[in-house]
Structure 1
Amino acid sequence: MKVQMLGLCRFSYLGGRGFQVEHDDLAGRRAFLYDPERLARRWFWFRHVTLPALMAQSDSDFTLVLMTGPDLPEPWLSQLRDLCDEVPQFRLSLVPPMERHVEACLAAIAPHLDPQADVVGHFRQDDDDAVAIDYIRDARRDFAALEPLWSRRRRLSCDYARGLVLKATADGVSVEPRMIHNAVAGLTVYLAPDAQRSIMHFPHWQIGLSMPGVTLPGKVMFVRFLNHDNDSGAIGAGYPWEAGETDWNTMLADRFRIDLAHLDRAARDFGLPGADRPRWGQ
């Protein structure tokens, strides 16, 4: 069975809905999203948290759609173009503002669906989170065991629930091992190629209302990165896991190609508190 792995990463996409931080009008949202200092921070975290493991995947057969608006300011729009030229798996999608966010996301990924695939493993990649270097391999390989369950409704979620929460403040970056139920990173939604849906149609915190799901908690598979510019910054439902004497520098380097010391220095240099959101870090 052919499994296409297809991801969506929104980089400061300007649209009408889909975010918890609200604005009075589109102009207000544009000013917030396109603030140069904010974009500089977003790009830094994107380059040093999200991209390293994606560019080192043990299974390179995947597509990641980088979604943004056609008026994203320079130099960030050109940098996204250059990145897509550099990385064969990346595709740039410039989507004008649309009121319905799920429709905008579907418009971004629809041209990249493989009609020859038997099933599409959709994943959502926030631009400041990370998946482990074997995420694509495992999500494709594990579907073989999950296929009988998927075939009942042609919908299925698979949650790699063991991960790390990194919190960046003016004091640096802390690391907390967490089991998180259906976090964004490490969650795969398997759909038929003709489903006319993307992962964005199914809110991750209530995905059980839409499909059966499986949890595979064995390996550390994601990083949830909390910083000043998070849309919500809520950790999500879950609990800690016992890490013992784990060396976080080594684990983050091995599993995610993340340089923790570099992130720590950058957080101190930015000198910002956590986001001013009701549930940031909780």
Structure 2
Amino acid sequence: MTQRGQAPTARLRRLAMELRQLRERAGLSREQVAEATEINRTTLYRIEMAQAKPQVRTLRALLDVYDVSKDHRNDLIAILKLAGEESWLQTASEDLPGHYPTYIGFEREATAVLNYQLSFIPGLLQTEAYARTVIPGGAPELSAAEVESRVAVRMARQVDRDPSPIIEVIIDEVALCRRTGGPKIMREQLQHLLNKSEKSNVTLRVIPLSVGVHPGMHGSFVILRFAHGVRDVVYIEVSTTDLFLDNENEIRRYNLMFDQLRAVSANQGESRDLIARALAGIQ
């Protein structure tokens, strides 16, 4: 069980999310699972809401009912055993599930996504052609099929999905200047940015090159916010290493950094002008 008043860690929330999705895919109600496993329905609810940490035998019983594969089962048991740790460093060499499904799961449940990007257009605002360029650029080991799969997932995450969270994006102007994929792809991408910046749930700001040194120059990050007083998660992706931060002090630090980046950014109207000038400058 989680301690009273203590926010669930990123791992525990990941486990809760997976168990809820597994039950729903199996087409089972909580009442049916409770009857099949003799796990109290209230306990099952608390486990699925990350309000309680299940025992290993309880988790195994649930995975039996959901007919989970051996590899997936081992992944979830590994997450449970490490669920008390707040920060979650996940690399390609770990025996845990890939970071991308983890991040997407958190993003899907978030009520707000605060994203600062230094070098690229954020994934939630990318065109398909732009995504098809940057995904293999950052992971050249991916096969063509894997690239297409990731592109399809990224397109499904776009800001038009329903329900869509509040999205606040801050982009360094350098991302607008980089000719990613060539002139045609970049023109389409910048026009796409202008179009999406008009959506009611999207706030888009640009940090002008004239600002000089600013707090975001060390790298990009995402802050995911949730309902019901659930603590934020900070996600940082660096090459093959991915970090999920769930520590209160770290979350406070990244929220402060986002506030500082917002303060040095152009306002929304000025940001649109910067994007339009970048678009006009592409030959």
TM over 0.5: no
* The structure with more strand, counted as a fraction of residues: 1
The TM-score, its normalising length taken from structure 2, stands at 0.29
TM-score by length of 1: 0.29
Q: Which is higher, the Rg of structure 1 or of structure 2? A: 2
The structure with the largest helix share of the pair is 2
